[in-house]
Structure 1
Amino acid sequence: MDAIFKALNDPARRALMDSLRARDGQTLTELEEQLEMSRFGVMKHLKVLEDAHLVTTARRGRFKHHYLNPLPLQELVDRWVHPFLQPQTEKLSALKAQLETETMTDKPDFVMSTFIRCTPEALWQALTDPAKMEEYHFFARKVDLDGDTLHYHNGEGDVLLSARTIATEKHRRIESTFQIAGPDAPKASRTVFLIDPQGEQCRLTVEHYELTFPVVPGQGVHDGWSRWAAGLKSYMETGKALNFEPAMAG
């Protein structure tokens, strides 16, 4: 928490985060154009934000795209902001975020990362073994594997989500489709899990592509991935997943 507040205690870094909040996934050049400072200065500020895990990156070819990382911000909001927000304020914030979100197809629409104290092998198993998924998933009470497709069921046995594996690099990368069930569900999107071993920890990055709707902080996909990652991290480090009530998980 101290690292987060320290990183936020600079107007230039806050300006960078405001810019990424308005349009996530910008390159260094795009961010540099918005600040009256050198390229090296912008790089230094981005490094501070990355070290505080407030910004994460995804490299595509020779371009490095920067994204706000929702997990530390969500923890800060839950502890220090959310208890004091009025319902009217929450609705206005959600509307503002929706209007400012731009849909882009040439890079991830959503990126988040978290650090988990575990081995790559153990994390890989947790991400691919249906029995383990049932232990930590925030809404799935049953997960089954049909060929190359995982189906996530609720307590009544209905399929809520299906994910077909597209490509894998063992202990490193999993690419899958992401299909929400239901007659009015959006078309299938695509997810990528990236496992990066770092000493006794693994950095897990989630990239979500081809979304057809805005990513609103604290809602929908944003909220779902935050809960999923929190449950996975708790399960891997303590053996127990977080207990999300069904009403919250819906």
Structure 2
Amino acid sequence: MDAIFKALNDPARRALLDSLRQSDGQTLTDLSEQLEMTRFGVMKHLKVLEDAQLIVTRKAGRFKHHYLNALPLQEVMDRWIHPFLQPQAQALSRLKATLEGQTMTKPDFMMATFINCSHDALWEALTKGDLIAQYHFACETVTGDMQKNGDTVAYLFPHGAPMLSNRVISITPKTRIEMAFLPSWGGDETPSRCVYLLEPTSTGMKLTVEHFDLPAAQTGVAEGWARFASGLKTWLETGQTHRFAPEKSA
């Protein structure tokens, strides 16, 4: 966490995070135009933020896009602030509809987390419905597995109503899953597309989530991913179920 506090202890880096919060996926050119410093200076600040895992990057063609990664900040909140302030939902995704055959460019939302687990354990936790049900923040019943193209996993609310389904578009075992994201909440059931990327590290696993073509009327997707990833990480690292459910309104 020292790297997080170091990264936040500079107004220029905080300004970059604020800019990405307002408009995710910006390039170096986009961000450089907003600060009174050289491109090299902005690059150095972005490197500090990336080292602290507060941003993640993705190349699309010759452009490198930068995304706010709020999960490390959420973990700081959970450790020190949540018990006192009951933090509220934040981060809404900007959304737009997609078709399965559409070529993906840059994601509308991107998040990464590091988990102290084996490669096999992470893969099974992401692909087996009965395991997803152990840590999902809203659904204790999840049916189906993701093993091949066309497989579908369905998420059900406790009262039995559908929340979401994911249908596999393409799958590379233990490396990548591309899915159609089919929501059933909030009145807008426009499909979009999401991707899991699994990468072994020297101390565990890195999981990156990319979400493409999110429709604007759907809300809470970014926070939902943060709650999903927090539950997954807790379950894999401790063996204990903890559902990071949204706070109930007073």
| TM-score range for the pair, normalised by the shorter chain length | 0.7 to 0.9
Aligned to 2:213: 210
1:44 aligns with 2:44: yes
Shift of 1:109: 1.4
Q: Give the SS at the match of 2:190.
A: coil
In the alignment, the residues of structure 2 paired with residue 233 and residue 197 of structure 1 have an alpha-carbon distance, to the nearest angstrom, of 15
In 1: Cα distance, 2:131 partner to 2:115 partner: 16
Letter in 1 for 2:195: V
1:111 counterpart SS class:
strand
User: 8 Å contact 1:186–1:212 — kept in the other structure?
Assistant: no
Contact 2:94–2:214, Cα closer than 8 Å, also in 1: no
1:81 offset after TM fit, Å? 8.0
Distance 1:183 1:221, change over 3 A: closer
Q: Separation in 1 of the partners of 2:216 and 2:47?
A: 30
Question: What TM-score comes out, normalization by structure 1 length?
Answer: 0.83
Q: Which residue of 1 aligns with 2:119?
A: 120
Question: How far apart are 1:211 and its partner, in Å?
Answer: 1.0
Mapping for residues 18-167 of structure 1, pairs under 5 Å: 18-78=18-78, 79-80=80-81, 83=84, 106-145=105-144, 148-167=151-170
Is residue 181 from structure 1 mapped to residue 180 from structure 2 by the alignment? no
Q: Which amino acid counterpart does residue 177 of structure 2 have in structure 1?
A: I
The answer on 1:190 being equivalent to 2:189 is: no
RMSD, aligned CA:
2.9
Q: Distance in 1 between matches of 2:75 and 2:83?
A: 10
Identity score, percent? 52
Q: For residue 240 of structure 1, what is the aligned residue in structure 2?
A: 240
Q: CA deviation at 1:192?
A: 0.6
Unpaired runs of 5+ in structure 2? 97-103
Q: Following the alignment from structure 2 to structure 1, what is the Cα–Cα distance between the partners of residues 11 and 202?
A: 33
Q: Structure 1: any 5+ residue segments left out of the alignment?
A: none
Native 8 Å contact 2:94 2:215 kept in 1: no
| Cα distance between partner residues in 2 of 1:246 and 1:203 | 25
Conserved? CA contact 2:57–2:66, under 8 Å: yes
Counterpart Cα distance in 2 of 1:220 and 1:103: 11
Distance in 1 between residues matched to 2:143 and 2:117, nearest whole Å: 24
Q: Count residues in correspondence.
A: 237
